Chain A
Amino acid sequence: MKTYKQPNSVGRFGEFGGMYVSETLMPLLLNLDKSYKKIQKDKKFIKELNDLFKNYVGRPSSLHFAKNLSKYINGPRVYFKRDELNHTGAHKINNCLGQILLAKKMGKTRIIAETGAGQHGVATATVCALFGLPCYIYMGSKDIERQKPNVFRMKLLGATIIQVESGSKSLKDAMNEALRDWIKNVRDTFYIIGSTAGPHPYPKMVRDFQSVIGKEAREQILKVEKKLPDYLIACVGGGSNAMGLFYPFLNDKKVKIIGVEAAGRGAKTEETAATMTSGTPGILHGSYSYVLQDNDGQIKEAHSISAGLDYPGVGPEHSYLKDIKRVKYFGITDKEALEAFQTCSKLEGIIPALEPSHALAYLIKAFKNKHKNKVVILNLCGRGDKDLFTAAKAIGFDADE
Chain B
Amino acid sequence: MNNLDTLPKKKILSLFMTCGFPTLNQSKKVFNEMLSYQPDIIEFGLPFSDPMADGPIIQEANKLALRSKLSTQQSLNLIKELSKSKYNTSFVIMCYLNTVRKFGLNKFIKNIKSIVDGIIIVDLPFEEEDAIKKSLSKNNIHLIKLISPMTDKKRSQKLLKNSKGFIYYISATGITGSNKLDYKEINKNVKSIKKMSSVPVLVGFGIKSKKDVIDISKKTNADGVIIGSALIQKYFDIKMDFNKYLKSLKKFIQEVKI
Measuring CB to CB, which residues of chain A are less than 8 angstroms from any residue of chain B? Answer: 10, 18-28, 166-167, 172, 176, 179-180, 183-187, 282-286, 293, 295-299
Contact = CB atoms under 8 A, between A and B. Distances in A.
13 contacts: A20-B124, A22-B148, A23-B145, A23-B159, A24-B148, A27-B148, A180-B175, A283-B123, A285-B52, A293-B102, A297-B98, A298-B48, A298-B66
Given A23-B146, A167-B49, 12 more contacts: A21-B52, A22-B146, A23-B151, A24-B173, A26-B148, A183-B174, A183-B175, A184-B174, A284-B50, A297-B99, A297-B102, A298-B48
Nearest to A282: B98
Contacts of B109: none
Interface of B: 48-50, 52-53, 55, 59, 63, 66, 71-72, 96-99, 101-103, 122-128, 145-148, 150-152, 155, 159, 170, 173-175, 178
Nearest to B178: A184
Given A27-B152, A166-B59, A297-B103, A283 B52 contact: no
A18 B123 CA distance: 11
Contacts of A28: 150
A382 B98 CA distance: 33
Contact of B53 (A172, A183, A293): A183
Contacts of B173: 24, 183-187
Nearest to A173: B50
A293 B50 CA distance: 11
Contacts of A183: 53, 173-175
A299 B124 CA distance: 18
Contacts of A293: 98, 102
Contacts of B97: 20, 283
A282 B102 contact: yes
Contacts of B102: 282, 293, 295-297
Nearest to B173: A186
A174 to B, nearest CB: 12
Contacts of B178: 184
A283 B98 contact: yes
A179 B52 contact: yes
A298 B96 CA distance: 10
A31 to B, nearest CB: 9
A86 B184 CA distance: 50
B50 A27 contact: no
B99 A21 contact: no
Nearest to A28: B150
Contacts of A23: 125-126, 145-148, 150-151, 159, 170
Nearest to B51: A176
Contacts of A184: 173-175, 178
A27 B126 CA distance: 11
A18 B127 CA distance: 9
A186 B174 CA distance: 8
B155 to A, nearest CB: 6
For the complex of A and B, the 8 pairs showing the least CB-CB separation, nearest first, are A297-B102, A22-B53, A298-B49, A297-B98, A23-B146, A24-B148, A283-B98, A27-B150
B52 A180 contact: yes
Contacts of B151: 23, 26-27
Contact of A176 (B52, B72, B98, B127): B52
Contacts of A179: 52
B66 to A, nearest CB: 6
A282 B50 contact: no
A19 B128 contact: yes
Kindly name the residue among B71, B98, B122, B174 whose own CB sees the greatest number of chain A CB atoms within 10 A. Answer: B98
Contacts of B101: 282-283, 297
Nearest to A285: B52
A355 to B, nearest CB: 23
Given A183-B173, A283-B98, A284-B98, A21 B125 contact: yes
Contacts of A285: 50, 52
Contacts of A283: 96-98, 101, 123
B197 to A, nearest CB: 15
Contacts of A295: 71, 102
Nearest to A187: B173
A176 B175 contact: no
Contacts of A27: 148, 150-152, 155
Nearest to A27: B150
Given A23-B170, A176-B52, A10 B127 contact: yes
Contacts of A26: 125-127, 148, 150-151, 155
Contacts of B147: 23
Contact of B50 (A10, A25, A167, A187): A167
